Chain A
């Protein structure tokens, strides 16, 4: 079992719809969770981070965390073609306080006009 799992997609949604991206992780000790967006040929860009169970909203983005189920998700409301990218989920290993991150393989999102 991979430490951080994401469906590679592609996930295709129409413009204006809600895109839902999911991620599961195996380390129950993980405390910090991150979503990065990566455009083709570019480096990842931090979108959101979440530390506590529940929802965290920032503009059109909402991160949801459920530690009991070891599940974190990212919702993108009013999806735009410019949101088309690969979304990487990352978690901190429970045993580490150095900032080390474990990344999932990423989900490719396609927003069709």
Chain B
């Protein structure tokens, strides 16, 4: 149980384009999902908390207009990187806790984004 998937697993896009990443909880419902970014040899940096049916909560320094988050259902959250630039190239990982075990976060496999 507690499986989280992400799609795509990797993506290459051109500078200025937008990329959408999906995060799904496969065998549980999640009212909250989290989006992280990880640069090489660095730890996870929380970008935002995705809340089902309401606006996402962004961490300080994260541009909400650049990283659009939508949590339309209890099993799906999406992160859209708008007008991507090479500095946005990173490993994006989502996580979700089951509703009855809110402090146990299970991570998706991650999406490696390369912006050329």
Contact = CB atoms under 8 A, between A and B. Distances in A.
Interface of A: 32, 34, 36, 42-46, 49, 88, 90, 92, 97-106
A34 B110 CA distance: 19
B32 A99 contact: yes
A6 B109 CA distance: 24
Contacts of B93: 43-44
Contact of A98 (B43, B49, B104): B49
B42 interface: yes
A109 B42 CA distance: 15
Contacts of A34: 103-105
Interface of B: 32, 34, 42-44, 46, 49, 93, 97, 102-110
Contacts of A90: 105
A101 B42 CA distance: 16
Chain A interface helix/strand/loop/mixed: loop
B107 A44 contact: yes
Nearest to A101: B105
A82 B113 CA distance: 27
Contacts of B103: 32, 34, 49, 92, 99
B102 A103 contact: no
Given A49-B103, A98-B32, A99-B103, A43 B110 contact: yes
B44 A103 contact: yes
B102 A98 contact: yes
A105 B39 CA distance: 12
A44 B36 CA distance: 11
B68 to A, nearest CB: 20
A105 B32 contact: no
A97 B104 contact: no
A99 B43 contact: no
Closest 5 CB pairs of A and B: A43-B110, A99-B97, A32-B103, A43-B107, A99-B102
14 contacts: A32-B103, A36-B107, A42-B109, A42-B110, A43-B107, A45-B107, A46-B106, A46-B107, A99-B97, A101-B34, A101-B105, A102-B46, A103-B46, A105-B43
